[in-house]
Chain A
């Protein structure tokens, strides 16, 4: 059973566009929601993370929007660049399972120059 559902599977945008990647979860016990960026052949790198007590968090060009009632959160990439082309994973965790991460299925983003 997929604990975190991620969409879309792939996304193509023009340079300067704002790709949006969405994730949804069912378990209301989740209390930590990170986003990771992964380039081919590399390990995932933490981009930004949010806790359920805030509705939005911004770090540079990356913004997480969090809707606790809908159990959804999304990643927005402002002024996207070709160098942002990568696979993005959302995840969720909760303390009572040792903060094990439940990953989404990933979104392959291509930013066209």
Chain B
């Protein structure tokens, strides 16, 4: 149980284009989903928290107009990187949590490379 999927697993795009990453909870209802960014050999950096049906809460320094988050259902959240630039290249990981639970279950991550 508690499986979270992400799609795509890897994406390469040209600078200036937008990329959408999907995060799905496969066997539970995720009232809250989190989006993280991870640089090589570093810890996970929380970008934003999204509750189903509400606007996402972004961490300080994360541009909400650049990283658009939608959490329209209890099993799906999407992160759209708009007008991507090479400095946006990174490993993006989502996690999901059920209501009233502390545990976060992580997706396998999406490797984004912006050329």
Contact = CB atoms under 8 A, between A and B. Distances in A.
A43 B103 contact: no
Q: By DSSP majority rule, is chain B's interface helix, strand, loop, or mixed?
A: strand
A33 B6 CA distance: 25
A49 interface: yes
Contacts of B44: 44, 89, 101, 103
A98 B49 contact: yes
Interface in B91-115: 91, 93, 95, 97, 102-109, 111
B97 A99 contact: yes
B94 to A, nearest CB: 8
Interface magnitude class on chain B? 20 to 34
Contacts of A99: 32, 97, 102, 104
Interface string A22-48: 000000000010101000011111100
A41 B9 CA distance: 10
A2 to B, nearest CB: 9
Interface in B33-54: 34, 41-44, 46, 49
B103 A34 contact: yes
A93 interface: yes
A100 B49 contact: yes
Contacts of A44: 44, 93, 106
B43 A106 contact: yes
| Residue among A43, A100, A104 with max Cβ neighbours from chain B (10 Å) | A43
Given A43-B93, A43-B109, A100 B46 contact: yes
A74 interface: no
B57 to A, nearest CB: 8
State the 6 A-B residue pairs at the shortest beta-carbon distance, nearest first: A43-B106, A32-B102, A43-B108, A43-B109, A44-B106, A103-B43
20 contacts: A32-B102, A34-B104, A36-B106, A42-B109, A43-B95, A43-B106, A43-B107, A44-B93, A44-B106, A46-B103, A46-B104, A46-B105, A89-B43, A93-B102, A95-B102, A98-B32, A99-B32, A103-B43, A104-B43, A106-B41
Interface of B: 4, 6, 32, 34, 41-44, 46, 49, 91, 93, 95, 97, 102-109, 111
